[in-house]
Amino acid sequence: LASGHHVVILFPSHDTEPELLEVMDIEPIATSCFGKADGEASIMIRGGAPPYTVDLPGANIQGGTILLAGLEGKDYMLTITDANGCEIPVIFIVDSPLPLEVDVRIEKTACPGESNGALIALPTGGFGPTQSFPKFFRIYSNTCHVFGG
């Protein structure tokens, strides 16, 4: 360069690296019943180069938030990919209640030829306490009457 005043024009480089693609938070929501695919998950990500994709059909991607709905109660191992092909694994669990089961026991055996037996039904499984149990059943002439609570 010759001596004197010179004008230098700087252009931004298009070769800059985006921020590291990372998962900020995962918020799974459990299913309401055993075997029901109504669980959800919200995954917050940042960095990388939008737009993002996830290897689960039906994902709703809104900026850095990925909303997943209609999930079964199970472990999930997904991959989030940005526009540059950078990938990050995502692992989370959608909880599900245990199957609701009822243990029915003979409380009082019916006398031969009579309809005076009694059963007790005790539920197990599910989320939280079950309501209105135990229930007592009396058998009268091939009909069942529920009482107690």
Mean predicted confidence (pLDDT) in 92-117: 81
DSSP-assigned states of every residue in 54-104: ESSTT-EEETTEEEEEEE-SSEEEEEEE-TT--EEEEEEE---PEEEEEEE
Q: Are the beta carbons of 71 and 6 closer than 8 angstroms? A: no
Residue whose token pair is 């609701």: 100
Q: Residues 62-96: pLDDT tens digits? A: 999 999 999 999 999 999 999 999 999 999 999 99
Closest to 101 (Cα-Cα) out of 74, 122, 119: 122
Whether the model clears a pTM of 0.85, i.e. scores above it, the answer is no
